[in-house]
Structure 1
Amino acid sequence: MERNGVGPAVPAIAFDRLKSILLDAHRLGLFDDNPVAGVKPPQYDPQRVVVPSPGQLREIRTAGDDSFLLVADLMSGCCTRTGEAFTTGLRA
């Protein structure tokens, strides 16, 4: 996944889902031994989130074109995440 440029959270999420599937199979008796015993999960350490101040937000809202302004307004006013704001902004 790393070689293909996948974000750092994806391997951790994929491991958690696979682990739950394998543990359910173990509980159902499909595996005699715990299939994830001793397996070290991938580490995901997200960076600290920085929330812009009201002054910085005013500057951000005047920094780009109408499309950028729409995305900035969606993210700050509607509390959407980046991907959600861009998807909504593309539909508008």
Structure 2
Amino acid sequence: MVFILITTFFIALMGLAFHRTHLLSALLCLEAMMLTIFIGMAMWPNNLTPSMLMAPLIMLTLSACEAAMGLSLMIATARSHGNDNLKALHLLRC
């Protein structure tokens, strides 16, 4: 099971590294990485102390916030530039 989780994480990482044209594909790869980490943390509760049992839930909450911020950034660039290319994000700098 550990091998599958590590493989899934690195496939998502390679997808993030190689598919850098559209923001939506980058967000999907980031979400796959976060979901893999969440599954890994939730599968081994014996390794966690009682104070760390909420860590997977907190990480999942932060992942949802990251997805919401990424989607709002994608909507802002799509409205202003008409596409979701990552090169358009360089134009948002002040």
If the TM-score is normalised by the length of the shorter chain, which range does it land in?
Answer: 0.3 to 0.5
TM-score by length of 2: 0.35
Structure of greater relative contact order (alpha carbons < 8 Å, 6+ residues apart): 2
TM-score by length of 1: 0.36
Rg larger in structure: 1
